[in-house]
Structure 1
Amino acid sequence: MTEFFQSLGMSYEWAWAVATLAGILLIALPLMLAVAMIIYVDRKVWAAINLRRGPNVVGPFGLLQSFADGLKVFLQETIIPSAANKGIFILAPIVTFTVALAAWAVIPFDAGVVLADINVGLLYILAISSLSVYGVIMAGWASNSKYPFFSAMRASAQMISYEVSIGFILVCVVLYAGTFNLSDIVMAQKGHGLGIVNGYVFNLLLFPMWVMFFISCLAETQRVPFDLTEAESELVAGYQTEYSSMSFALFWLGEYANILLMCMLNAILFFGGWLPPIDWAPLYYVPGIIWLLLKTFFFFFMFSWVMATVPRYRYDQLMRLGWKVFLPISLIFVVLISGYLMATGHYGAAA
């Protein structure tokens, strides 16, 4: 894209800056539209499982319901509690939303279709996802209310706990792929399963890691059954209790952008990303981004399915699962996988 703008007579510096801005908009604008639509899908899936109709009034089949909700919060008054720390109170949703968007910079949508194809893309994702807890903590503390503060304390412990096991799960993927680059991780999955299936999920050593990664993604994004930070029966509405209007909407947008990110990471790390499910030549005629979006939508459906059917954990159960189950198992599998790869000469072949 930089070369295109240079061909229009721009200097390299200006061409790079405009190309980067265009790339950001090409990711951010469709992402915001996707967030609006998956909120609609979320509500429709819950309704179907609960034998209800869901949104069906605003627009054909209720498709414009999310946009109507967005317009409603946009027109509402922003109310800041008198006892709140106003600066941090306003900054918290901005931090949450910005961090949620920043993580998409290294996501490869197809071969070569990525804003920043850096060699440490997976580390970047892990680092950025760790920052999302700060928006929640800032909101809980700045609200100067006990329920948001309790929610912020829960969120910090919950997200840190599951990031540890996620880190070891990602180490297992990196051991097999031999790289932290997300595009290279996708290509390493080509024909991995019995020589015909694109994906790590059919590997007996990596399938348990995917199951744990999927559950950890639910905990990392505070989705049911791990939505202890927003438990309305205990915390009114959690860290969002004192927020209204667009400040509340930014939390909502950031939350669903993170959910989409985790769904896409499931597809990229374990299900072959933009590659078709089967390593069969005719399937490659379908654009890679279509395969990636279909896989992402499948995982989002699973997120919604879990939310509509699984009861909420108690907080002690949540922490026990993270520290006493996922952490030891992920450590054991790091040893098993590295031992297997050394015994089979995988590292020697890669070198």
Structure 2
Amino acid sequence: MINNNLISTILNLLINLMDVLIVLLPILLCVALMTVIERKQLAAMQRRVGPNTVGYYGVLQPFGDALKLILKETIIPSQSNKIIFYLAPVSTLIFSLLGWGIIPFGQGLTLSDFSLGILYTLALSSLGVYGILFAGWSANSKYAFLGSLRSTAAMISYELILSSAILIVLLLAGSFNFTTIIESQQAIWFIVPLLPVFIFYFISILAETSRTPFDLQEAESELVAGFSTEHSSVPFVFFYLAEYSSIILFSSITAILFLGGYNFPELFVNESFINLQSIVLGLKTCLFCFMFVWFRATLPRLRYDALIELCWLNLLPVAVAFIILVPSILVAFDIAPY
């Protein structure tokens, strides 16, 4: 009996591990390709030649970059806290990958159809702050520490705007579950009635992922490379992977919240569409990934005081106004889903 129970437990663990690998390996491959796509897109927008030497059309460039960084010597500052110095990039990558556990790629295609998926996502995005803060503090460098403080302040500030925008979506969907949110957009995508909400939501995820024009922790002229200044080799690769994994993750969450996820409106749905659901979600995710790079190529970096002022004095009052307006309209016209 003990042997049978042990064997069944091991088999269940192996099956769960296989499920995780089936999701994580394509995601890591997408992260690698996202780096070369960004460089090619930036090159096209700036009228120059991007990566085109390593592999056909530069497709293998991210693997060459990863090999170069892995083979570099790992240098640890002598006065740093070595344990936290190593754990910070690992925790940042882990938190960015854990978010994929509840993303529905199609009907029934998810690792965990968690009923409180939105809360899980917000909790993970909040925990991601600690990896950046510990990276800057443990390095014992003023540039890294200032970069981590800037990043932490920006992420905490815009977390409020992000959660406010998601709360408005929840008022329309009536559920914290991602699958239910997708199904509630059968008639119309939420981006149509909530276009102003989508705009300040997208601004908040740009700040949340520390992308241009909100990448103040990586201000080269002031802070060298921000919180990752002292990290090199594999720890730096972890930060790099975590950043691009977060970009793709938030792009897919945006597609779920505002573009109906893997669904099209009922007018376009037929029996053969079920087989294309993952592709549909992937195309919508690519659209928002394109917007991330487009904004980087277009917008200049803000000053740090302007970044905080934009959040607390401009976006927050708008978010609070919509939190009051949207439920008022739902109640007035008796269209609340709850």
Would you say the 8 A contact 2:186–2:264 is kept in 1? Answer: no
Residues 246-279 of structure 1, C-alpha deviation per residue, up to 9 Å, x if partnerless?
1100000001000111111110000010013663
Misfit runs of 4+, over 4 Å:
9-15
Distance of 2:166 and 2:13 partners within structure 1? 32
Measure the CA separation in 1 of the matches of 2:274 and 2:90.
41
Counterpart check, 1:218 vs 2:215: no
Q: C-alpha displacement at 1:281, in angstroms?
A: 2.8
> Which residue number in structure 1 is paired with residue 237 of structure 2?
249
- Could you tell me how far 1:10 is from its partner in structure 2? 9.2
Stretch moving more, 23-32 or 222-231: 23-32
The corresponding residue for 1:280 is 268
**2:213 match: secondary structure:** coil
Provide the rounded CA distance (Å) in 1 between the counterparts of 2:278 and 2:138.
41
Unpaired stretches in structure 1, ≥5 consecutive residues: 1-8, 193-198
Q: Where in structure 2 are the equivalents of 1:290-309 lying within 5 Å?
A: 290-309=279-298
C-alpha distance in 2 between matches for 1:11 and 1:85: 42
Deviations 1:189-235 (A, max 9, x none): 1112xxxxxx11111xx111111111111100000000001111110
Structure 1 counterpart of 2:126: 130
Cα distance change on mapping 1:320 and 1:274 into 2, 3 Å: same
Shift of 1:128: 0.2
The alignment status of 1:51 with 2:47, answered yes or no, reads yes
Q: Partner of 1:165 in structure 2?
A: 161
1:6 is aligned to none
Aligned to 1:319: 308
Q: Distance in 1 between matches of 2:265 and 2:290?
A: 18
2:60 to 43, 57, 64: 64
Amino acid at match of 1:230: E
Aligned to 1:4: none
Which one of 271, 282, 289 corresponds to residue 278 of structure 2? 289
Tell me which of 169, 176, 191 is aligned to 1:201.
191
Using the TM superposition, give the Cα deviation of residue 15 of structure 1 relative to its aligned residue in structure 2, in angstroms. 4.6
The Cα of 1:313 is off from its aligned counterpart by: 0.5
* 2:174 counterpart residue number: 178
Q: Distance in 1 between matches of 2:301 and 2:325?
A: 33
1:58 to partner: Cα distance: 0.4
Contact 1:190 1:279 (C-alpha < 8 Å) held by counterparts: no
Please state if 1:121 is matched with 2:117. Answer: yes
Cα gap change, 1:10 to 1:276, in 2 (>3 Å): farther
Find the partner of 1:260 among 248, 252, 275: 248
Query: Does the CA-based 8 Å contact 2:144-2:227 persist in structure 1?
Result: yes
Aligned residues: 333
* Cα drift, residue 74 of structure 1: 1.1
Amino acid at match of 2:206: L
- 1:121-169 Cα deviation digits (max 9, x unpaired): 0000000011111111001001101000000110111000000011111
CA distance 1:291–1:277, shift in 2 (3 Å): farther
Residue identity over aligned pairs, in percent, reads: 44
Question: Structure 1 residue 238 and structure 2 residue 234: aligned?
Answer: no
Does residue 104 (structure 1) correspond to residue 100 (structure 2)? The answer is yes
Q: Which residue of 2 aligns with 1:342?
A: 331
3-state SS of the aligned residue for 2:267? coil
Unaligned runs of at least 5 residues, structure 2: none
Alignment partners' CA distance in 2, 1:184 and 1:10? 37
Deviates more, 1:155-164 or 1:323-332: 323-332
Matched position secondary structure for 1:279 = helix
Q: Which amino acid counterpart does residue 279 of structure 1 have in structure 2?
A: L
Structure 1 distance, partners of 2:8, 2:77, is 48
2:26, 2:121 → 1: CA distance? 20
Partner of 1:195: none
1:44–1:54 Cα contact (<8 Å) kept: yes
Distance in 2, matches of 1:259 and 1:219, equals: 11
* Shift, 1:110, TM fit: 0.8
Compared CA separation, residues 92 and 302, structure 1 to 2 (3 A): same
In the alignment, residue 207 of structure 2 is paired with which amino acid? A
Aligned residue number for residue 17 of structure 2: 21
Q: 1:63-82 alignment to 2 at 5 Å?
A: 63-82=59-78
Inter-partner Cα distance in structure 2 for 1:330 and 1:145: 37
C-alpha distance in 1 between matches for 2:242 and 2:293:
17
Match of 1:34 in 2: 30
